[in-house]
Amino acid sequence: MRFSSFVERIGGEGAAAWEIHFRASQLKRQGKDVILLSVGDPDFDTPPAIVDAAIEGLRQGRTHYGEVVGDHRLRAAIAQAHQAQSGQPTDPQQVVVVAGAQCALYAAAVCVLDQGDEVIVPEPAYVTYEAVVGASGARMVFVPLRPERGFQIEPETIERAVTAKTRAVLINSPHNPTGAVITRANWERIAEICVRHDLWLLSDEVYAGLTFEGEHVSPAGLPGMAERTITINSLSKSHAMTGWRLGWSITPVDLAGHIGNLALCMLYGSPPFIQDAARQAFAMEPPEVAAMKQGYRRRRDLVCGRLGNVKGLRCHRPEGGMFAMVDVRATGLSAQDFASGLLDAEGVSVLPGDAFGPSAAGHVRISLGNADEELARACGRIERYAAKLAP
Ligand code: PMP
């Protein structure tokens, strides 16, 4: 039987990158002593008050269809929080609740991009962007985030990449995989470029709640940006809720209407009891949220402290997010060979940076989503492995 041409656009080769992770997971299932530092899923549990709100919702029969674009109370809470954070006056009508930031990215992309459009994306980039943009028929145009600049964006590279076909810029800060946080000055320059060339800005802010240093700037609050910014966020990382599948977009009202139509034909709304849980998260920040953030920061310090002293390795100290990038170029190995050898020799899986884009070649990504003791153990193994490599 035949498939549509669409299936090719969503079936990119991002999968190859995960080969090490799949091999490591298999070894672990076979009972081998393997430490997985290759996925970005928080190891923390969802705060109990949030879990209780979902259970209460279930008991109260909040198990029917809900409002397609999201519970109006949750949308109001999201709008209020976004306004407080970004300074953008935000009406609940601008918010659409969907199944995770991933779903919001997809919905936004297919509602603003057309076949033949170009989307400027800094690389290394989160791997699903390829299929998200591909689904719309648009094409990604990459601009490099250079390791020697700490992977901080250089706005002039965006300006230089703009053509008559450019429709949007897709940016993630704090950044997966590098942990870089875009400075306010750079956001202001990016905003000017978007305004000057009349571009949409898709701002993926899923790690905003995990900003350790500097400030998280929501670009929708900058001059001229409210009408062109699509803010994407979720509780997945900040509240350890990846499995709940709840996220949202905040856009101009007309675009929210289109995303709402997509939500109607694709999701027919988000589960009401899950939205009850999300409302609880906004109603009163559970103490665990600050503790988790502190935990990631402590782990960041642990990993960069330990690996920073290892010959052949250099740790890029992430300012936010759940990952640390380690430069392994001085070992003489490619990231792929380093990661593969590390798994074979010491049973630790990390992802080669090349998977996220050529500018991260020679780097491996380490997830901070493991307990401190496990991370410390993994660092010991990485030290031992690197010591054998050092010329
Ligand atoms: N954007 C980035 C940069 C991510 O790393 C992730 C999750 N790994 C997502 C979006 C999707 O998050 P969610 O669980 O909210 O769909």
Q: Is residue 42 lining ligand 1, measured as CB closer than 6 Å?
A: no
Share of the chain above pLDDT 90, in %: 94
Q: Are residues 35 and 69 in the same domain?
A: no
Cβ contact 33:47 at 8 Å: no
Of 264, 283, 302, the residue that ends a domain is 283
pLDDT band with cut points at 50, 70 and 90 for residue 391 = low
Same domain, 235 and 108: yes
DSSP-H helix ranges across the chain: 6-10, 19-29, 48-59, 72-86, 100-112, 129-136, 155-161, 184-196, 253-266, 272-283, 287-308, 335-346, 372-389
Which residues form the domain of 168?
49-283
Question: Ligand 1 pocket, 102 CB below 6 A?
Answer: yes
Predicted confidence band of residue 40 (pLDDT cuts 50, 70, 90)? confident
Do 31 and 127 fall within a single domain?
A: no
Of 318, 326, 312, which Cα lies nearest the Cα of 299? 318
Judgement on whether residues 142 and 276 belong to the same structural domain of the protein:
yes
> Is-contact 117 168, C-beta < 8 A?
yes
CA distance 350 to 365: 6
Q: Is 204 close to ligand 1, i.e. is its CB under 6 Å away?
A: yes
Mean pLDDT of 336-363: 96
- Report the percentage of the chain scoring pLDDT > 70: 98
Of 176, 182, 211, the one to substitute when testing ligand 1's pocket (max ligand atoms within 8 A of C-beta) is: 176
Query: Is residue 1 a part of any domain in this protein?
Result: no
Based on the domain organization, do 309 and 346 belong to the same domain?
A: yes
- Across the chain, mean pLDDT equals 96
State whether 146 and 194 are in the same domain: yes
Closest CA to 210 of 292, 278, 147: 292
Task: Please give the full DSSP string across 86-103, using - where no structure is assigned.
Answer: H-----GGGEEEESHHHH
Query: Is the beta carbon of 176 within 6 A of some atom in ligand 1?
Result: yes
Count of domains forming the chain: 2
pLDDT at 15 over 70: no
Cα separation, 7 vs 260, in Å, equals 23
Query: What are the CB-based long-range contacts (under 8 Å, 24+) for 87-90?
Result: 87/218, 87/221, 88/218, 88/220, 88/221, 88/225, 88/226, 88/229, 89/226, 90/250
Predicted confidence band of residue 213 (pLDDT cuts 50, 70, 90): very high
The number of the ligand 1 atom at minimal distance from the alpha carbon of 99 is: 16
Q: Which of 18, 41, 46, 102 to mutate to test the pocket of ligand 1 (most atoms within 8 A of CB)?
A: 102
Strand 229-234 to 200-204 pairing: parallel
Mutate to test the pocket of ligand 1, among 98, 105, 123, 126 (most ligand atoms within 8 A of CB): 126
Sorting pLDDT into bands at 50, 70 and 90, what band is 16? low
pLDDT at 72 over 90: yes
Q: Does a structural domain hold residue 30?
A: yes
Span 145-163, average pLDDT: 98
Residue 13 has pLDDT above 80, yes or no: no
Q: Is the entire prediction scored with pTM above 0.85?
A: yes
Asked if the model's pLDDT at residue 18 lies above 80, the reply is: no
Between 17-31, 34-48, 186-200, 332-346, the lowest mean confidence (pLDDT) is in 17-31
Residues 269 and 315 in one domain: no
- Residues in contact with 236: Cβ distance below 8 Å, sequence separation at least 6, in sequence order: 100, 101, 206, 242, 244, 246, 247
What would the mean pLDDT of 175-192 be, rounded to a whole number? Answer: 98
> Does residue 224 form part of some domain?
yes
Amino acid at 261: N
**119 and 186 together in one domain:** yes
169 close to 194: Cβ distance less than 8 angstroms: yes
246 & 259 share domain: yes
pLDDT tens-place string over residues 102-147: 999 999 999 999 999 999 999 999 999 999 999 999 999 999 999 9
Same domain, 222 and 357: no
Predicted local confidence at residue 11, as pLDDT: 85
CATH number of 121's domain: 3.40.640.10
Q: Is it the case that residue 29 has pLDDT exceeding 70?
A: yes
Q: Are 222 and 191 in contact (CB under 8 A)?
A: yes
Distance (Å) from CA 125 to ligand 1 centroid:
12
Closest-CA residue to 316 (of 150, 122, 153):
150
CB 127 within 8 A of CB 154: no
Reported as a pLDDT band with limits 50, 70 and 90, residue 208 is: very high
pLDDT of 168 > 90? The answer is: yes
Q: Do 252 and 172 reside in the same domain of the chain?
A: yes
Asked if 311 and 234 sit in the same domain, the reply is no
Residue 349 sits in a domain whose CATH number is 3.90.1150.10
Q: What is the band of 17 on the pLDDT scale with cuts at 50, 70, 90?
A: low
pLDDT grade, residue 14 (50/70/90)? low
Q: Which of 234, 256, 283 is the last residue of a domain?
A: 283
Q: Which of 265, 283, 301 is the last residue of a domain?
A: 283
Does residue 273 lie in a domain region? yes
In the prediction, which pLDDT does 103 show? 98
